[in-house]
Amino acid sequence: MSEKEKVKFGNWLSAAPATMGGLSMIGWMSVVIAVMLMVVCFIFGNFLGGLLALLLGLIFVFLFMFRFGEMDAGRTIAARVLERASQKRRKDTGATQYRTGLFSGLPAGQLWALPGALADIEELNGTDGEGESFTLLHHRSVGKLAATLTCVPDGADLLPQGMLDAQVETFGGWIADLSEDTSIAGATITVESALLSKKPLVQKLEGHVAEWAPAAAKEAHAQATAQLPDFFTDTSVHGTVVWDVKSVGEDLEEATAEVAGKLPYHRDFLYASGGGMPAVGTSEDLARVVQIAYNPHRAIEAATDDLLGHENPMRLSEAGPDYFDDFPTRVAFHDGVASMTAVMVIPPRIHITEKTFKKLFAPATKFLRKRVTVFYRPLSSGEALKKAEQLRRSTRTSASAKSMASAFDENKVQLAKKNESDLVDGAAMQAFSLMVTVTFEPTKKAYREATQKLKNLLESTKLTYRFVDYGVSSAFHATLPLGILPWEYKDIVDTVAEGM
């Protein structure tokens, strides 16, 4: 099927407020108010007070409302200063360095606890409506319940185009249905991938060959391992759904029972979307995911244990890193490797097909491991209509503010109109974002190569992005399939600093 014949989907608009000269409508209103206060003060003869009111108003607008940066992706001075101040405070208090183990100073029973907000997670184990075991994660600090489903997707390259289109449509239906359950706070899809050499695996297997084994058996083993491809891919996909405890039940026990009853529905939907045979992750499953994220070299050990039938009884609450340091800018160091995270700030300004993000999600060289997480925030029908109206006004304002609107401006106006039309026809609207975490060896060469490779992958998707330079630990753990929704941890200070 040609590119023109392929099913295209997506109607993506930035939720950032429209700006004229770097200021939103609220920003310009603030400027007008400051000028009016100055005029009033002048009328009453208070010239000094008038000038002071104007000066303070302009300073407030300049710091908290004026956005510097690319189109639709600018950031205020206050937001940038707050990031640096927060990082400095964390360094001064030692919060940028995390240690586990006997000499860590952690309380007994939590010697290998996860860092940050993850340390406050409570594991709730049970059986769902179809008799399958599961572990729910209770994020106590924000009152949320998360369930992670492990998927084994079908290989898209081997599927007929018609089946692929049907799976995409079903997956889109699942995302749209998130809005129908008002107790759902959000959902994520996490794709982890690695392109691995066979050498470590072969060495690991050879270590388990007994010295007294017959020469013929050793020769057969050597020939078998020699037939393995030089590189192989290790890919895992997780879908995480997060519910609000207060919305889904009167108390935690009732909420747990309600969520357990909803799990088969989400499992069936992901199955129909090409997710293989999704299974709700247990504490041991999630612990393995986290341990490999901290050190990708553990993937070989885990695969060898699977081949030999060894079980790993480690639970998620015991899966913390040996150490995690994020005091440098952009890079975090943990368990012998390094990592960095990039976040999407503006979606691709194009319609997409199933191949648009293929390179970003596929295994790639220059990384020990790559983790891409897409965040979905469902909007109710009322919220969706309000947001669509806001987008229509903001895109029209942004386009009319220029003497000659660009093709991007005109395209955004048309997309905003289509948004409202689609909502009238019964479509759903979801807010979404995307983050990419890559892990590499802790050397300057590996960092340089990983940075360039990640930039190339992100540029190929036509999205606008920025690297997370401060709060690297928070970004790293947000991309794990553990149900951390960044907007649930945002406070009023962050909101004001980001501008209006």
Domain count for the chain: 1
Give pLDDT, residue 250: 86
CA 177 remoteness from chain centre: 20
Contact 422, 384 (CB under 8 A): no
Nearest to 144 by CA among 492, 488, 494, 491: 488
Q: How far is the C-alpha of 482 from the C-alpha of 135, rounded, in Å?
A: 11
Give the pLDDT score at 307: 67
Q: Is 217 inside a domain boundary?
A: yes
* 194, two tokens: 């690695």
Contacts of 205 (CB under 8 A, 6+ apart): 221, 225, 304, 307
In a domain, 423, yes or no: no
How far is Cα 265 from Cα 195, in angstroms, rounded to an integer? 33
Q: Are 110 and 119 spatial neighbours (Cβ–Cβ below 8 Å)?
A: yes
Query: What are the distances in angstroms from CA 343 to CA 82, 198, 444, 455?
Result: 18, 32, 22, 11
Q: Is 2 in a helix, a strand, or coil? A: coil
User: Angle at CA 161, nearest 5°, toward 424 and 174?
Assistant: 40
From residue 413, how far is each of 27, 346, 397, 401, 418 by CA, in Å? 22, 16, 9, 13, 9
The tokens for 420 are 């409202």
The answer to whether residue 139 sits within a structural domain is: yes
Say if residues 63 and 78 touch (Cβ distance below 8 Å). Answer: yes
Phi-psi sector, 156: left (phi>0), alpha (psi -120 to 50), beta:
alpha
Report how far residue 38's alpha carbon sits from residue 198's, in angstroms, rounded to the nearest whole number: 73
Mean pLDDT by 10 residues, the chain (500 residues): 45 61 71 87 86 87 76 72 81 84 80 88 82 87 93 79 84 86 92 79 68 74 71 85 91 90 89 88 92 90 72 85 89 94 83 77 91 90 74 68 65 72 72 92 95 93 88 92 88 50
> So what's the pLDDT on residue 457?
93
Is 6 part of any domain?
A: no
Question: Within a domain: residue 207?
Answer: yes
Q: Give the three-class secondary structure for 226.
A: helix
In 3-state terms, what secondary structure has residue 38?
A: helix
Q: In terms of residues, how long is the chain? A: 500
**pLDDT for residue 345:** 85
Task: Write out the residue range of the structural domain in which residue 279 sits.
Answer: 93-379+428-497
Within a domain: residue 479?
Answer: yes
CA distance 53 to 51: 5
Token pair listed for 76: 């205020």
- Could you give the C-alpha distances from 301 to 229, 292, 367, in angstroms and in order? 19, 10, 18
Cross-strand bridge partners of residue 123: 137
pLDDT at 160: 84
Q: Of all helices (H) and strands (E), which one includes residue 77? A: helix 77-93
The CB-side HSE value for 456 (13 A sphere, CA atoms) comes to: 10
- pLDDT at position 23, please? 67
Three-state DSSP at 78 gives helix
Q: What is the pTM of this model?
A: 0.82
Per-residue three-class SS string for 399-434: HHCCCCCCHHHHHHHHHHHHHHHHHHCCCCCEEEEE
Does 78 reside within a domain?
A: no
Per the CB < 8 A criterion, the answer to whether 312 and 304 are in contact is no
pLDDT (0 to 100) of residue 4? 43
- Is residue 13 situated within a structural domain? no
CA distance 219 to 246: 62
CB 369 within 8 A of CB 480: no
User: Which residue type is seen at 403?
Assistant: S
Give every CB contact of residue 411 below 8 A, 6+ residues apart in sequence. Answer: 349
479 within 8 A of 373, measured Cβ to Cβ: yes
